[in-house]
Amino acid sequence: MKNFDTIIGQRAVREHLQNSLALGKISQAYMISGEKGMGKKLMATAFAKALLCEERSEGEKESCGSCHSCKQVESHNHPDLIYVTHDKPQLISVDEIRKQVVGDVLIRPYQSRYKVYIIDEAELMNEQAQNALLKTIEEPPEYAVILILTSNEQMMLQTVRSRCIKLSMTPLTKEEIKKILTGGNNISPVQAERVLSFSRGNPGRAKELVLSETFEKKRTLLIRILSGLADSSVYQWTDNIEDLSSDKKELASCFDLMEDWYRDVLLYKAGALKEQLIYQDAFAKVAQGADTYSYRQLQRNFEALTVAREQLKRQVRPQLILENLFTELRRTK
């Protein structure tokens, strides 16, 4: 575990770090940015593990996974791997940076060639803390490697950013997320399918969603709305718009879920089996939709969703977007 080999997705970041290892060209400061849940810490740890591994020979791209050092990294117990900690949840103070990095870096590694610092949630460093850190990354001892992880690169001082090799984590494909969820997490492929659209390429978020009751509620609500749209009264319709537009941030994901729904309806209409559907748990309703909607109208539904997404980007009011969308989705022929 915690090897590059076990990381799914993020090929560009992985390859950059592994090439540095292969070439023996290790930079002393890296900034890995990406949303919370994207696996920045796992990536940083895999890199640290390879740097510290006792059995890795020059030019090798991966830790051995079994030496004393590798085991220490696995158990969070390596004296030359420092995870910077902080007392206040929303702040990494200048004292914490001075004590754990600036001062500590002057002490030579205990047992390895490198001494690796991982500063997670680095955006929580205030300006003073970042300035203190800057001194270290401007003139680090040759054994020091500083890994700065952040979900908000804009909060980092330009002076700090410009000293780092910058790597960005990118959204995973649905297949990759599915692989992560079903690999040893006790999550079934069917459970995984449900959250793929909503997770927006973020495996951490996907894991949370699988366990989240609010997500289940929203999904259930959408199934109810979509399966009833064709014969709903205007009043129900208004309530639905209220429910959905309350959280503007989630609206784009709702459109993804809707697209999955009509995709299922279309597939089933074209002869797909229940096992091929995402909404297997609402199979009867999907089948009903396949009877209700014409092929031509399903095509229009997809187009209406594309329009809705564009409107959302252009900051059109959510209520208005949904009214337009539902007007189209209510048609059956």
| Minimum distance, C-beta of residue 326 to Zn ion, in the bound complex (Å) | 58
Give the binding range for Zn ion (CB under 5 A) out of 47-55, 173-181, 229-237, 316-324: 47-55
Residues of this chain, 265-294, that bind Zn ion according to CB under 5 A: none
Give the binding-site size for Zn ion (rule: CB under 5 A): 6
- Is 5 near Zn ion (CB under 5 A)? no
- Identity of the residue, 66 or 220, whose beta carbon is nearer to Zn ion in the bound complex: 66
What angle do the packed helices 174-182 and 189-196 form, to 10 degrees?
140
* Closer of 8 and 67 to Zn ion (Cβ): 67
C-alpha dihedral, 268 to 272 to 274 to 275, nearest 10° = -140
Please, which residue, 32 or 53, has the CB nearer to Zn ion?
53
Q: Which residue has the tokens 């060639």?
A: 113
Residues 63-102 that bind Zn ion (CB under 5 A): 63-64, 67, 70
Part of the chain binding Zn ion (CB under 5 A), chosen from 25-33, 51-59, 228-236, 315-323: 51-59
Residue number, 53 or 187, with CB nearest to Zn ion: 53
Distance from C-alpha of 291 to C-alpha of 252, rounded to nearest angstrom: 27
Q: Measured from the CB of residue 39, what is the shortest distance to Zn ion in angstroms?
A: 21
Q: Find the binder of Zn ion among 55, 95, 231, 247 (CB under 5 A).
A: 55
Residue 306 tokens, joined: 């594309």
Judged by CB, which is closer to Zn ion: 24, or 271? 24
Helix (H, G, I), strand (E, B) or coil at 150: strand
- For residues 8 and 77, what is the distance between their CA atoms, to the nearest angstrom? 25
Min CB(140)–Zn ion separation in Å: 24
Helix/strand/coil for 302: helix
Least Å distance, CB 52 to Zn ion, is 8
| Phi and psi at residue 167, to the nearest 5° | -125, 135
Smallest distance from Zn ion to CB 142, Å: 21
CB of 8 to Zn ion, least distance (A): 22
Q: Which is nearer to Zn ion, 110 or 235 (CB)?
A: 110
Q: How far apart are CA 203 and CA 42, in angstroms?
A: 12
CB atoms within 10 A of CB 245: 18
Angle between helix axes 248-269 and 283-292 (nearest 10 degrees) is 70
Contacts of 260 (CB under 8 A, 6+ apart): 197, 278, 279
For Zn ion, the binding residues (CB under 5 A) are 53, 55, 63-64, 67, 70
